């Protein structure tokens, strides 16, 4: 009863405070700096520089990404025969929406990666629309962002929103509108074109509300050819810019340093628990600037390391056992992914050392192969052959085993 009463008092206080302030004076906007729904240089100078949309990535880079997407669309449809060729294209990429663990308690928000890649915008319930011009050829296009309108009452609880003006200023797109105008925008585009291609991923939509809008729009429409932009976006994301490479290096550096600290931590404890190592890894990553861990880590002592996606992480690790940790961190949209195995007691047994050394030698040989053009399939086949040879040398499998048996 006390907690309900305190919650009611807090809500009443916030509402009374809001009512005492004029719309231009609420304590979200009454600051020297314009607040946005994500870090900007004026509010977070320790994280982001002037001209950047997200840390390390400037407006120009996101513009280039959108332009390259439209170039890919042009090439994709330029290869078709004249009867199937479409000159008009519209691309719709929705953001993610919030998910809740209970009625009012949200999970940590994670943006749709395709939307983040093309905009850098980190707010939920938004949409990027790119469309071609009737009198201009691709990749020339218009970019529009649809965002949630500013709402002082909601922002008291959830933090500031960028709003229409803020999104336009932050992202460098051509137009910005409220999300509620998306349907009208789509209808106007439809009415102005004889036929066109709609690029929208109907099979992997991250936002149910936007997906319903798109489903109804297509049901009412004709003269449309539908394609998913995701394969094109995935191809673009294969090639990293110098700025992206620097962020990836930093993410790996943070996770690597954290691993070293966790190893030392495990060696110093009289009793080692998987949960302790999980917690220590997250701590070490976050104090180095990571937002959170890249995925639920595997922290598996002893034989539990044979469970590929073991994430319970709740068992005591015996002093003579090895622990396998598969973990990484999330840094400004880029993640690291590292797996290491070590003895929690600080020393390998002779058998553990021999096996570890064999795996290390295999890894070094595989890394040398990566300096030449080689497919992942061929790399995997090389790994299985090398592993089979090493296991024979260690007498862990019969020396008479065939290559097929060693592979199994």
- 40-66 confidence digits (pLDDT tens): 999 999 999 999 999 999 999 999 999
Task: Quote the CA–CA distance of 408 and 363 in Å, as a whole number.
Answer: 19
Task: Quote the CA–CA distance of 147 and 37 in Å, as a whole number.
Answer: 11
Tell me, yes or no, whether 90 and 196 share the same domain: yes
Which of these three, 181, 213, 238, is where a domain ends?
238
Task: Quote the CA–CA distance of 95 and 114 in Å, as a whole number.
Answer: 8
Task: Give a yes or no: residue 5 inside a domain.
Answer: no
Tell me, yes or no, whether 102 and 58 share the same domain: yes
Q: What is the pLDDT of residue 98?
A: 95
Compute the Cα dihedral for 255, 260, 265, 266 and give only its sign: positive
pLDDT > 70? residue 30: no
Q: How confident is the model at residue 84 (pLDDT cuts 50, 70, 90)?
A: low
Which of these three, 238, 253, 278, is where a domain ends?
238
Tell me, yes or no, whether 85 and 127 share the same domain: yes
Tell me, yes or no, whether 75 and 124 share the same domain: yes
Task: Give a yes or no: residue 248 inside a domain.
Answer: yes
Task: Give a yes or no: residue 136 inside a domain.
Answer: yes
Tell me, yes or no, whether 319 and 370 share the same domain: no
Q: What is the pLDDT of residue 408?
A: 65
Q: How confident is the model at residue 85 (pLDDT cuts 50, 70, 90)?
A: low
Task: Give a yes or no: residue 7 inside a domain.
Answer: no
Task: Quote the CA–CA distance of 182 and 212 in Å, as a whole number.
Answer: 12
Which of these three, 322, 347, 372, is where a domain ends?
347
Tell me, yes or no, whether 139 and 201 share the same domain: yes
pLDDT > 80? residue 80: no
Q: Which of 2-6, 59-63, 330-334 has the lowest mean pLDDT?
A: 2-6
Tell me, yes or no, whether 228 and 260 share the same domain: no
Q: Which of 78-82, 204-208, 280-284 has the lowest mean pLDDT?
A: 78-82
- 122-177 confidence digits (pLDDT tens): 999 999 999 998 788 889 999 999 999 999 999 999 999 999 999 999 999 999 99
Tell me, yes or no, whether 92 and 232 share the same domain: yes
* 299 compared with 195, residue with greater pLDDT: 299
Host H or E run for residue 17: helix 2-20
- What is the overall mean pLDDT for the chain? 89
* 26 compared with 393, residue with greater pLDDT: 393
What is the mean predicted confidence (pLDDT) over 12-26? Answer: 46
For residues 88 and 74, is the Cβ–Cβ distance under 8 A? no
For residues 195 and 86, is the Cβ–Cβ distance under 8 A? yes
What is the mean predicted confidence (pLDDT) over 111-126? Answer: 98
Tell me, yes or no, whether 170 and 215 share the same domain: yes
Q: What is the pLDDT of residue 27?
A: 41
Tell me, yes or no, whether 377 and 362 share the same domain: yes
What is the mean predicted confidence (pLDDT) over 207-232? Answer: 91
Structural domains counted in the chain = 3
Q: What are phi and psi of 135, to 5 degrees?
A: -105, 10
Tell me, yes or no, whether 259 and 335 share the same domain: yes
Task: Give a yes or no: residue 200 inside a domain.
Answer: yes
Q: How confident is the model at residue 401 (pLDDT cuts 50, 70, 90)?
A: confident
Residue 398 lies in domain:
349-407
Tell me, yes or no, whether 197 and 253 share the same domain: no
CATH number for position 311 = 3.90.230.10
Task: Give a yes or no: residue 97 inside a domain.
Answer: yes
Task: Give a yes or no: residue 281 inside a domain.
Answer: yes
Task: Give a yes or no: residue 14 inside a domain.
Answer: no
CATH number for position 78 = 3.40.350.10
What is the mean predicted confidence (pLDDT) over 210-237? Answer: 91
pLDDT > 80? residue 274: yes
């Amino acid at each position: 009863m006390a907690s309900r009463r305190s919650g009611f008092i807090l809500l009443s206080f916030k509402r009374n405070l809001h009512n005492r302030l004029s719309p231009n004076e609420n304590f979200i906007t009454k600051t020297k700096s314009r607040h946005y729904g994500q870090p900007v240089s004026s509010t977070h100078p320790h994280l982001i520089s002037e001209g950047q949309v997200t840390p390390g990535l400037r407006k120009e880079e996101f513009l280039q990404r959108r332009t390259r997407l439209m170039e890919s669309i042009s090439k994709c449809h330029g290869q078709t025969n004249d009867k199937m060729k479409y000159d008009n294209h519209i691309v719709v990429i929705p953001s993610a929406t919030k998910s809740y663990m209970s009625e009012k308690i949200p999970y940590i928000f994670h943006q749709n990666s395709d939307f983040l890649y093309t905009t850098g915008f980190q707010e939920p319930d938004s949409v990027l629309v790119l469309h071609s011009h009737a009198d201009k050829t691709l990749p020339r296009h218009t970019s529009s962002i649809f965002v949630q309108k500013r709402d002082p009452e909601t922002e008291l609880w959830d933090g500031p929103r960028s709003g229409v003006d803020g999104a336009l200023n932050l992202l460098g797109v051509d137009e910005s509108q409220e999300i509620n105008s998306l349907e009208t925008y789509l209808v106007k585009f439809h009415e102005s074109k004889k036929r066109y291609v709609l690029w929208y991923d109907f099979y992997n939509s991250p936002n149910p509300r936007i997906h319903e809008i798109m489903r109804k729009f297509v049901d009412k429409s004709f003269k449309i050819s539908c394609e998913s932009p995701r394969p094109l976006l995935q191809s673009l994301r294969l090639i990293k810019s110098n700025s992206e490479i620097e962020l990836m290096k930093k993410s790996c550096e943070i996770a690597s340093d954290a691993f070293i600290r966790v190893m030392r931590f495990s060696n110093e404890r009289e009793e080692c628990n998987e949960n302790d190592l999980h917690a220590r890894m997250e701590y070490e990553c976050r104090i180095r600037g990571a937002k959170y861990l890249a995925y639920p880590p595997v922290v598996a002592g002893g034989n539990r390391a044979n469970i590929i996606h073991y994430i319970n992480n709740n068992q005591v690790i015996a002093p003579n056992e090895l622990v396998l940790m598969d973990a990484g961190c999330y840094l400004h949209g880029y993640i690291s992914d590292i797996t290491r195995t070590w003895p929690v007691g600080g020393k390998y047994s002779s058998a553990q050392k021999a096996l570890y050394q064999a795996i290390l030698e295999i890894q070094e040989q595989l890394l040398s192969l990566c300096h030449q053009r080689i497919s992942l399939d061929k790399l995997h086949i090389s790994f299985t052959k090398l592993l089979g040879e090493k296991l024979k040398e260690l007498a862990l499998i019969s020396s008479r085993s065939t290559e097929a048996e060693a592979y199994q």
